[in-house]
């Protein structure tokens, strides 16, 4: 029984060491950022695919620019 308790203690200590190791955390953060960028690009490309949204957006920007410049 003493041997089994010792093995359990070693396994628990090793598990705690592995849990505290953060070698891959930065890589996972970059993968998450890349996934968000890919999703945003997909949403924007889908929005501009049919042309209605793109025309509305361009019109809104043109209206803002003409308001700022005084209607020229």
pLDDT of residue 58: 79
Residue 28 lies in a domain: no
Tokens of 62: 């043109």
Report yes or no on 71 lying in a domain. yes
Taking the C-alpha atoms of residue 33 and residue 39, their distance in angstroms, rounded to an integer, is 10
| Segments forming the whole domain that contains residue 65 | 33-72
pTM: 0.43
Classify residue 21: in a domain, yes or no. no
* Number of domain units in the chain: 1
pLDDT at 11 over 70: yes
Per residue in 33-64, pLDDT (tens digit) is 999 999 888 877 777 776 676 677 778 888 88
For 45, the token pair is 């490309």
Inside any domain, residue 45: yes
Token pair for 9: 């203690």
CB atoms within 10 A of CB 38: 10
CA distance 10 to 13: 5
Does 63 fall in a domain? yes
């Amino acid at each position: 029984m003493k041997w089994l308790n010792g093995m359990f203690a070693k396994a628990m200590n090793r598990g705690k060491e592995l849990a505290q190791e953060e070698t891959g955390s930065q890589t996972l953060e970059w993968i998450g950022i890349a996934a968000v960028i890919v999703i945003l690009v997909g949403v924007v490309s889908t929005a501009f695919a049919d042309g209605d949204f793109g025309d509305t957006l361009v019109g809104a920007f043109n209206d803002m620019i003409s308001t700022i410049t005084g209607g020229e």
